[in-house]
Amino acid sequence: MRPISNFAARDVAALLHPTTNLFTHQTHGPLMLEKAEGVYVTDTHGKRYIEGLAGLWCTGLGYGNEELAEAARAQMTKLSFSHLFGGRSHEPAVELAEKIKALAPCPTSKVFFTSSGSETNDSQIKLAWYYNNAVGRPKKKKIISRMRAYHGVTIATASLTGLPVFHADFDLPMAGVLHTDCPHHYRGAEAGETEAEFATRLAANLEAMIEREGGNTIAAFIAEPVMGAGGVIVPPDTYFPKIQAVLKRYDIAFIADEVICGFGRTGNWWGSQTLGAEPTTVSMAKGITSAYFPLGALTVPEHVHDALVEQSKKLGVFAHGFTYSGHPVGCAVALATIAIYERIDIVGHVRKVSPTFQKRLRALADHPLAGEARGVGLLGGLELVKDKRTKQSFDGKVGLGAKVVALAQDEGLICRSVAGDTIGVCPPLIITENEINAMFDMLAKALDKAHAWAKAEGHLA
């Protein structure tokens, strides 16, 4: 255990941490980080770590990028803040909206800015409701999400999130949110069911849900191309085409949550392109600024914008927006980030190094603790099991995932346990093959130590 430093003690005394076991934090305290460069972060004791989760799936360009720092500084000295309310505007917001329109994986008329993925998906729900009211469909309001999905933590987006811990004692989910199947073949397939057959069954289950609820009551379906916090779930190849066919039959919008998958993570600009999805609208955040500034955005199709204009004329105002929607510093940093992505060909780089990443990830499937290794691009998950043959999981009270994360941190790797005992890895996109190998060497050592610990503690025979 790390010694509790003065700053760590002050942290425990002053901060309420998000998504943290608050009880154990009082004893163990935080990992206090002091500086960072490239794919590495350094704590206040001088120990350096590979940041194997890119912060929170977000620092695509790594740390200490001076070009991004300069973009922020220059914009702060020129126009430090301006809002977009009441028709005001500024060049960075206009230029970024134009750039997103050019890059988007779906036809886009306008771009709406937010400060985070949660705000973006919250806005998607509001726009879906507003649009259907505007076009005379007041009953078409329900949103279908998926079990194990993650779409945010506001009241609305935590309701979309299909992870029970985000609902417990928050009195969620709210009414009007439905959850259909998680597309995880390893856990959800019936005996002998191929991935294609599994995808067909899930599409049929979705259609049955729509029929039960009434297609005229459902506004949208939302999905991450690859699920992140739900366990890094990569759906079968035919999943999205089959789901989309169902949605089209009932005129249900498809919201692609690209907050994690967007901006090169999967080996294309968008995860939708990698997974064969054709969304109506896209949510984005995180990688849009390489996490150097809080910024999110969503795309608005032409038919939706037309309805918004008419309804605004009727009501006098389109009454939605945030103080920091299109913050000029955030937009300037995003423009610089995208310019770097294009200049260094980040998509090409991911395609070049991801075979090494995926090979090393999948090799860990042979470890005694591993059930399934899965991923795409520079995104991966290793699901830990007690019994490889039966796929039996460890009792949650064992905390094996958390143990592996702690042991990996001792080795010099930061990763994360998600959806129970799945170890998520998602390094900065600029990572090199040598750094990928070093990262997986550390993870392999942590797994070996965790296996020895589990046996010594009586959790394994």
Q: Considering the domain boundaries, does residue 25 fall inside one?
A: no
Q: Considering the domain boundaries, does residue 6 fall inside one?
A: no
CA distance 30 to 5: 10
Note the pLDDT tens digit of each residue in 368-395: 999 999 999 999 999 999 999 999 999 9
Residues 6+ apart with CB under 8 A from 185: 193, 195, 198, 236
**DSSP letters spanning 333-360:** HHHHHHHHHHHTTHHHHHHHHHHHHHHH
User: What is the mean predicted confidence (pLDDT) over 223-243?
Assistant: 98
209 and 153, same domain (yes or no) = yes
Positive or negative: CA dihedral 407, 57, 265, 41: negative
The predicted pLDDT at position 6 comes to 83
Q: Considering the domain boundaries, does residue 461 fall inside one?
A: no
% the chain with pLDDT above 70 = 99
352 and 333, same domain (yes or no) = no
Asked whether residue 1 carries a pLDDT value surpassing 60, the answer given is no
Q: Alpha helix (H) ranges present in 265-327? A: 271-275, 302-315
Contact between residue 52 and residue 62 where contact means Cβ atoms under 8 Å apart: no
124 and 88, same domain (yes or no) = yes
CATH number for the domain that contains residue 101: 3.40.640.10
User: What is the mean predicted confidence (pLDDT) over 396-405?
Assistant: 96
Burial degree of 374 (CB within 10 A; 0-12, 13-18, 19+): buried
234 and 357, same domain (yes or no) = no
Query: In terms of residue numbers, what domain contains 263?
Result: 67-343
Q: What is the pTM of this model?
A: 0.95
Residue 136 backbone phi and psi in degrees, to 5: 80, 30
For the chain, give the mean pLDDT: 96
The predicted pLDDT at position 4 comes to 53
The predicted pLDDT at position 461 comes to 79
283 and 313, same domain (yes or no) = yes
Note the pLDDT tens digit of each residue in 328-372: 999 999 999 999 999 999 999 999 999 999 999 999 999 999 999
Q: Considering the domain boundaries, does residue 446 fall inside one?
A: yes
The number of domains in the chain is: 2
Q: Considering the domain boundaries, does residue 21 fall inside one?
A: no
Contact between residue 188 and residue 180 where contact means Cβ atoms under 8 Å apart: no
Closest CA relative to residue 288, chosen from 310, 259, 316: 259
Residue 276 backbone phi and psi in degrees, to 5: 75, 30
